[in-house]
């Protein structure tokens, strides 16, 4: 299991379409990679998230318990196919396409429990520790980011949500950093919590 990219973004205006036209709303869902396998520069991770990252609505994401959003790269090809079918584009999706801070490889929602801890490798000093706190619940801004109006519904139905992390021990992370899963109490998996929260998701 490893990090493929670290992505950050500032709050900016996002164009959201509706039946009445389009409006501008503040959002930081548009994120760009600042650390990749080709340029694995370190990024400071604090209790409130990655250096250089912002959130527009702290009532639904951000803060201590949702400081970092991780998304599995394994879902990227599926979303590209869905966007092609919706005629929203056929280009390869860039890192950070889902508004995630960490694009990860090797860990899916069906393999991690709420309360599990991700222990990231450390170059110097103590490792970064981050506790899995919740699945992502998409909103209308995700539709705008993906370019088609059913995107949020598709995320709910597929349960390809990714998950939020609470930073327990801050430090530095970089693309290519490996991590291991330290089990918590293991009462409910991320995908199961998603179904409990939404009444949807895959069986």
CATH at 23:
2.40.33.20
Give the neighbor-by-neighbor strand order of the sheet with 2-8: 32-36, 2-8, 102-105, 68-72, 163-169, 129-135, 117-120, 179-182
Residue 51 structural domain: 2-198
Report yes or no on 193 lying in a domain: yes
pLDDT per residue rounded down to tens, the chain (203 residues): 999 999 999 999 998 887 677 888 999 999 999 999 999 999 999 999 999 999 988 877 888 999 999 999 999 999 999 999 999 989 999 999 999 999 999 999 999 999 999 999 988 778 999 999 999 999 889 999 999 999 999 999 999 999 999 999 999 999 999 999 999 999 999 999 999 998 754 44
Report yes or no on 51 lying in a domain: yes
What Å distances lie between residue 104 and 9, 17, 71, 75, CA to CA?
18, 30, 6, 10
Quickly count: other Cβ atoms within 10 Å of residue 140's Cβ.
15
| DSSP reduced 3-state for 168 | strand
Q: How many domains does the chain have?
A: 1
Model confidence, pTM: 0.94
Pairing of strands 68-72, 102-105: parallel
Report yes or no on 83 lying in a domain: yes
**Residue 24 is inside which H or E element, if any?**
strand 21-27
Report yes or no on 203 lying in a domain: no
């Amino acid at each position: 299991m490893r990090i493929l990219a670290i992505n950050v973004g500032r709050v900016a205006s996002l164009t959201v379409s509706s039946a009445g036209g389009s409006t501008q709303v503040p959002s930081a869902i548009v994120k760009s990679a600042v650390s990749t396998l080709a340029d694995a520069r370190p990024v400071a991770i604090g209790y409130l998230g990655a250096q250089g990252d912002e959130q527009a609505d702290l009532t639904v994401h951000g803060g201590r318990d949702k400081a970092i959003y991780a998304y599995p790269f394994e879902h990227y090809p599926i979303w590209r196919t869905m966007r092609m079918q919706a005629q929203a584009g056929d280009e390869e999706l860039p890192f950070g396409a889902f508004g995630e801070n960490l694009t990860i490889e090797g860990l899916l929602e069906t393999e991690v429990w709420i309360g599990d801890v991700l222990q990231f490798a450390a170059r110097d000093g103590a490792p970064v520790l981050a506790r899995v706190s919740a699945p992502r619940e998409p909103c209308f801004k995700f539709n705008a980011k993906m370019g088609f109006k059913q995107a949020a519904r598709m995320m709910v139905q597929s349960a390809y949500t990714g998950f939020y992390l609470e930073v327990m021990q801050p430090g530095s992370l970089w693309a290519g950093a490996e991590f291991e899963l330290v089990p918590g109490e293991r009462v409910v998996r991320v995908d199961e919590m998603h179904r409990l929260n939404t009444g949807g998701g895959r069986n």
